[in-house]
Amino acid sequence: MSRFARFPAVCCFTCALFNGAAAGQAYPVKPIRFIVPFTPGGGTDLIARVIGQKLSEAFAQPVIVDNRPGAGSTIGTALVAMAPPDGYTLLMSSISIAFDTTLYKNLSYDPSRDLAPVSLVATQPNVVVVNPSLPVRSINELIALAKAKPASINYASAGIGSGPHLATELFKQMAAIDLTPVNYKGTGPALNDLLGGQVQMMMGVVASTIPHVKTGRLRALAVTGNARAATLPDIPTVAESGVPGYEFNTWYGIQVPAKTRRATVDRLNREVGRIVDMADVRERFASAGLEPLSSTPDAFGALISAEIVKWSKVAAFIAP
């Protein structure tokens, strides 16, 4: 075979590489769909809209927030898992992806196999709050009362498998106490009954609970993170209040379909890191009780894997 016979094949291969590189540099060239697997108005939706607007400005392309709630967060998550891996479908992910993986046994997707991490964007501890009628002022006093009167204290959650539910179940296990769950269809009804005294305690998000703490309608005992919250520096953590090692943080991040080009993932990662460092974004997040942060894709992936393991152990003790 002539040494020139291979030339067309080499040209085609070179052109393919050039076109692939050009396509990566051109990204994005059309609108991006940003799926939020929850209803409008919640924390996940707020973060997606703030980040989405900034991405739209950076990319000079529309970023369309698409709310797809239902079945925990599995309906919206499945849409992203099955989308083309081209960088034009993003998922506003949260800790719920770890909960769903442990609570739903027949998911149509595997988060480790079908989704790729981009970056964390924010975190938020919960706050252990009680109705003032409950005669406790610290986590130690709460544990002592629960041990003296097993199952007499009831707690509100936003539903079976929700963050407040699993966070309180982890607290029960680590403190070796028995609390009675009262599950609601959302945070709003749960908080209303806590304020009304129908239930006695709750692990609620900062933004919705602290205004009531400030007016004296609720009493804050501790925050659930591994460090004191920047917005609540005077409130101790659960870990330093009598349950060493306890930690629960609601985290939020961005994921894309698996097999999305690493160059696209890295481009998104850089933009997200730049966005969460913006002063106006940090101010907006802080007003909602959120602490902005970013991460590498690999670090975010490692967090997701660890959270799935952690919460599967908690879910194993929850009656179906």
Give 261: exposed, middle or buried? Use CB within 10 Å, 0-12, 13-18, 19+: middle
- Per-residue model confidence (pLDDT) at position 25: 56
pLDDT at 13: 42
Whole-angstrom CA distances from 309 to 31, 43, 102, 289, 303 are: 36, 24, 8, 27, 10
- Please tell me the predicted confidence (pLDDT) of residue 2: 40
Nearest residue to 224 (alpha-carbon basis) of 242, 240, 251, 248: 248
Amino acid at 137: R
On the question of a cis peptide bond just before residue 211, with omega within 30 degrees of 0, the verdict is no
How far are the Cα atoms of 67, 160, 293 from residue 41, in angstroms, in the given order?
10, 21, 21
- Please identify, in words, the CATH class of the domain defined by 30-124+249-315: alpha beta
pLDDT in tens, the chain (320 residues): 443 344 344 444 444 444 444 444 589 999 999 999 988 878 899 999 999 999 999 999 999 999 999 888 899 999 999 999 999 999 999 999 998 888 888 899 999 999 999 999 999 989 999 999 999 999 999 999 999 999 999 999 888 888 889 999 999 999 999 999 998 877 888 999 999 999 999 998 888 888 899 899 999 999 999 888 877 889 999 999 989 999 999 999 999 999 999 999 999 999 999 999 999 999 999 888 899 999 999 999 999 999 999 998 888 777 44
Same fold, 30-124+249-315 and 125-241: yes
Q: Evaluate whether 129 touches 158 at the Cβ level (below 8 Å).
A: no
Q: Which two tokens stand for residue 97?
A: 């992806």
Hey, what are 13's tokens? Answer: 């291969």
* Closest to 143 measured CA to CA, from 247, 227, 242: 242
- Locate the domains of the chain by residue range: 30-124+249-315, 125-241
* DSSP H/E element including 154: strand 154-157
Round to whole Å and give the CA distance between 108 and 104: 10
Report helix angle 96-103 to 163-175, nearest 10: 80
Note the CATH number of domain 125-241: 3.40.190.10
